[in-house]
Amino acid sequence: MDISVVIPVYGCREAVPELYKRLAATLEAQGKSFEIIMVDDHCPQRSWEEIEKLCEADERVVGIRLSRNFGQMRAITAGLEKSVGDLVVVMDCDLQDRPEFLPQFLAKIEEGYDIVYSKRKDRKDTFIVKALSRAFYAVYNKLSDMKYDFEVGNYSIARRKVVDAFLEMKEQNRDYIMFLMWLGYKDTTIEIESDERFAGKSSYTFGKKVNLAVSLITAQSNKPLFLAVKGGFIISCASLLFLVYLLIRYLVVKDFDMGWPSVIAAIYLMGGLVLSALGVVGIYVGNIFAESKGRPIYVIDDILNSHK
């Protein structure tokens, strides 16, 4: 198999037939053998029904249905583990990323690159979404010592050796593009134009994005622990200076009562410090707990037309 295309499907049932139509036409024009792997992440819109129809009509379509909603990154992992292509493309199901850009990815691969990422020139997102993305990746880059561009999306292509190396990484907290960048293979980016969502709306609420950010940062870096130590040192110094100030004022102003202000200052400063440090440590302990259970990253309920 020349090319495998892995697509996590959630919340965009109406886009599935159109995505298959455009993707198949683009791949057929390249004259290469291919498979289209659609992973239903337990979509509430019953996208599996559309995937079943495609699998019945075209054996090149592989349908994977997960037993419950495991999340986009785990759905991608499920598709990658069932892929057999020498080249593997990952893309979203909402048609914001045009299948017609695939020839540009293939051209870059032929130049000798192992991974080709897409960089959206004009993301169809709100200003707030873009601002939050910039903020998250600025923090992530600082804490992980990596350089990640917030405009780089999941739409990408990688050689089989890259995918196999990715699949060796069994962490519960996962991100496809960040893991690929960590692997260190020869990569490049191409600029593409993105479209509006064909149907549906994004399932990534603000709360989910915050949880994802915390999970990824604490899974990839231990710097927050060191920041807690530094923060504790700074607050301790500030508390000490404040207590010295109260002592001097007490000595200068004889009727000044330093007892109550000093106690309150010490309680609030040290209490906040301890709670923050415990919270950071707790997140890491939670990650260790999740990893130590050794549970599978996903569970497959049904699979159609599998080539592996």
Banded pLDDT at 22 (limits 50, 70, 90): very high
Q: What is the pLDDT of residue 109?
A: 95
Q: Which of 45-59, 71-85, 192-206, 245-259 has the lowest mean pLDDT?
A: 192-206
Mean pLDDT of 119-134: 66
Instruction: Report yes or no: 33 and 3 within 8 Å, Cβ to Cβ.
Output: yes
d(CA 83, CA 38): 11
Which one is predicted more confidently, 88 or 278? 88
Q: Residue 28 above 60 pLDDT?
A: yes
Q: What is the pLDDT of residue 50?
A: 94
Banded pLDDT at 30 (limits 50, 70, 90): very high
Q: Which of 103-117, 179-193, 228-242 has the lowest mean pLDDT?
A: 228-242
Which one is predicted more confidently, 160 or 124? 160
The torsion angles phi and psi of 190, rounded to 5 degrees, stand at -125, 145
Q: What is the pLDDT of residue 34?
A: 96
Mean pLDDT of 136-164: 78
Q: How many CB atoms lie within 10 A of CB 216?
A: 19
Q: What is the pLDDT of residue 61?
A: 96
Mean pLDDT of 178-195: 87
* DSSP collapsed to 3 states, the chain: CCEEEEEEECCCCCHHHHHHHHHHHHHHHCCCCEEEEEEECCCCCCHHHHHHHHHHHCCCEEEEEECCCCCHHHHHHHHHHHCCCCEEEECCCCCCCCHHHHHHHHHHHHCCCCEEEEEECCCCCCHHHHHHHHHHHHHHHHHHCCCCCCCEEEEEEEEHHHHHHHHCCCCCCCCHHHHHHHHCCCEEEEEECCCCCCCCCCCCCHHHHHHHHHHHHHHHCCHHHHHHHHHHHHHHHHHHHHHHHHHHHHHHCCCCCCHHHHHHHHHHHHHHHHHHHHHHHHHHHHHHHHHHCCCCCCCEEEEECCCC
Tell me what the pLDDT averaged over the chain comes to.
82
Q: How many residues are recorded in the chain?
A: 308
pTM value is 0.74
pLDDT in tens, 85-114: 999 999 998 888 889 999 999 999 999 999
